[in-house]
Amino acid sequence: MVAFKKLFFATSILLRGVVTAPSRASTLAVTAAVVVNESTIGARNLNNIRAQDKSKPKSNFNSNNGNTPKPNGNTPKPNGNTPNPNGNTPKPETNCRRSRLNRRVLNPGYDANNVAETDWVGPRQIMDNNGKAKVVDLTGCTALFFYMDTPSRGPILRRVVHITAGNEEADAKISAHDAAGSDSVTIGASTSTYFEFAKKGVLAGNSNLRINAQHIYNKDRATATTAVTLSNTVGELTLTEGTGPRVRTELSEDDPSQGVTAC
């Protein structure tokens, strides 16, 4: 009985080993097949993806790879032929050759009997000179005599200005604006052209001023040592012409032979 049991047990172990061995081999074979199939499928899928990528057209613009097209430097530039209003605009003609020089500023004078170039005098200086004033050293300049009307005494001189030739319009405008209390002005000029420029400036500074009769003085009376003078007469709007010593002695632009300047 004991021998039979031993034989049965040994037989069972042998049979179990026979059944188990094919089972392990089958498992390895199946596993290898699965690995081979997955590798084949993976390779096949990778080839398909690459083929699809090649079939798709590539874009020339990619905002993420730095291949953004750049300007080629051929942008047209201005050719420099654009009109330049500052350089190409012709300058307007002026009313005097002297205007090419630096403009001279009007200054307050202190002697109503000696109103020199670019000077002006007011009521106080005129009153100290008994209501009179004299513009001196005229060789082309312009003189302005501003008056105030009064019922009892007639016109009273309020302001006198000596304007450099070539600055008539600008300085007459300033002078008329500053001549407070004046009602009219008498203009003494060397030419009718200068008179018109001074008149235009006066009316631009104060359109209410009345322009009295013009006085065109004789510029030819001026020499290297003598100049023209203009003075007022108390109670009247007219001017009296005379001569006096010449002060300015620069070379003249109008007449270099005289050796003096047209003020």
Please report, as a single letter, which amino acid is at residue 87: G
Instruction: Give ∠ CA 176-101-90 in degrees, rounded to 5.
Output: 90
Mean per-residue pLDDT, 221-228? 95
Do 142 and 213 fall into the same domain? yes
Q: Are residues 117 and 232 in the same domain?
A: yes
The verdict on 116 and 232 lying in the same domain is: yes
pLDDT at 247: 86
The verdict on 18 and 120 lying in the same domain is no
In a domain, residue 92? The reply is no
Q: Do 108 and 50 share a structural domain?
A: no
Q: What is the pLDDT of residue 31?
A: 44
Residue 25 in any domain: the answer is yes
Per-residue three-class SS string for the chain? CHHHHHHHHHHHHHHHHHHHHHHHHHHHHHHHHHHHHHHHHHHHHHHHHHHHHHHCCCCCCCCCCCCCCCCCCCCCCCCCCCCCHHHHCCCCCCCCHHHHCCCCCCEECCCCCCECCCEEECHHHHHHCCCCCEEEEECCCEEEEEEECCCCCCCEEEEEEEECCCCHHHHHHHHHHHCCCCCEEEEEECCHHHHHHHHHHHHHHCCCCEECCCEECCHHHCCCCEEEEEEECCCCCCEEEEEEECCCCCCCCCCHHHCCCCC
Q: Say whether pLDDT at 224 is over 90.
A: yes
Determine, yes or no, domain membership for 89: no
* Average of per-residue pLDDT across 160-181: 96
* Whether residue 255 has pLDDT greater than 90: no
Domains of the chain: total: 2
- Residue of higher predicted confidence among 68 and 35: 68
Q: Does 229 fall in a domain?
A: yes
Share of the chain above pLDDT 70, in %: 55
Q: What's the whole-number mean pLDDT along residues 149-176? A: 96
Q: Which long-range contacts (CB under 8 A, 24 or more apart) does 22-25 make?
A: none
What is residue 79's predicted lDDT score, i.e. its pLDDT?
53
Q: Are 158 and 147 in contact (CB under 8 A)?
A: yes
Most confident by average pLDDT, 44-58, 97-111, 187-201: 187-201
**Has residue 168 been placed in a domain?**
yes
Say if 69 falls within a structural domain: no
Residue 223's nearest CA partner among 242, 249, 190, 194 is: 249
Query: Is residue 11 over pLDDT 80?
Result: no
Residue 35 and residue 103 in one domain: no
Residue 45 and residue 102 in one domain: no
- CA distance linking residue 31 with residue 235, whole number of Å: 138
CA dist., res. 38 & res. 42, Å (int): 6
Per-residue pLDDT band at 248 (split at 50, 70, 90): confident
Are 203 and 143 found together in one domain?
yes
**Is the whole model's pTM more than 0.75, yes or no?**
no
Domain coverage including residue 244:
98-258
What are 239's strand-pairing partners?
A: 232
Residues 45 and 171 in one domain: no
pLDDT digits (tens, 9 = 90+) for 85-144: 454 444 443 333 443 344 457 899 999 999 999 999 999 999 999 999 999 999 999 999
Q: Average the pLDDT over each of 41-50, 213-222, 228-237 and give the range with the smallest value.
A: 41-50
The model's confidence at residue 256, banded by pLDDT at 50, 70 and 90, is: very low
Mean pLDDT computed over 70-96: 49
Identify the pLDDT of residue 263. 55
Predicted pLDDT at 249? 60
Say if residue 180's pLDDT is above 60: yes
- Residue 222 included in any domain: yes
Query: In the prediction, which pLDDT does 26 show?
Result: 47
Q: Are residues 31 and 113 in the same domain?
A: no
Residue 1 lies inside a defined structural domain of this protein: yes
Higher-confidence position of 255 and 198: 198
Which is more confidently placed, 56 or 223? Answer: 223
Beta carbons of 79 and 91 less than 8 angstroms apart = no
Nearest to 164 by CA among 246, 93, 262: 262
Q: Same domain for 18 and 146? A: no
Distances (CA, A) of 150 to 126, 128, 213, 235: 16, 19, 19, 10
The answer to whether residues 122 and 205 belong to one domain is yes
